[in-house]
Amino acid sequence: MSGSDPEEFAVVDPADVERETFVTSDVAHRKLTEALGATEMRVNTVTLDPGDVTTPHAHEDHEELYVSLTGGRVEIEGEVRDVPEGGVVRIGSDPLRSVRNDTEDETHVWVMVGAPPGGTVENFGDTILPDGERL
CATH of the domain at 50: 2.60.120.10
Give a yes or no: residue 84 inside a domain.
yes
pLDDT in tens, 72-109: 999 999 999 999 999 999 999 899 999 999 999 999 99
State which residues form the domain around 110. 28-122
Number of domains in the chain: 1
Give a yes or no: residue 6 inside a domain.
no
Give a yes or no: residue 59 inside a domain.
yes
SS3 44: strand
Give a yes or no: residue 58 inside a domain.
yes
Say what the pTM is: 0.82
Q: Identify the helix (H) or strand (E) that includes residue 34.
A: helix 33-36
Give a yes or no: residue 5 inside a domain.
no
Q: What average pLDDT does the chain have? A: 87
Give a yes or no: residue 81 inside a domain.
yes
Alpha-carbon distance values, 95 to 7, 20, 99, 109 (Å):
34, 25, 13, 22
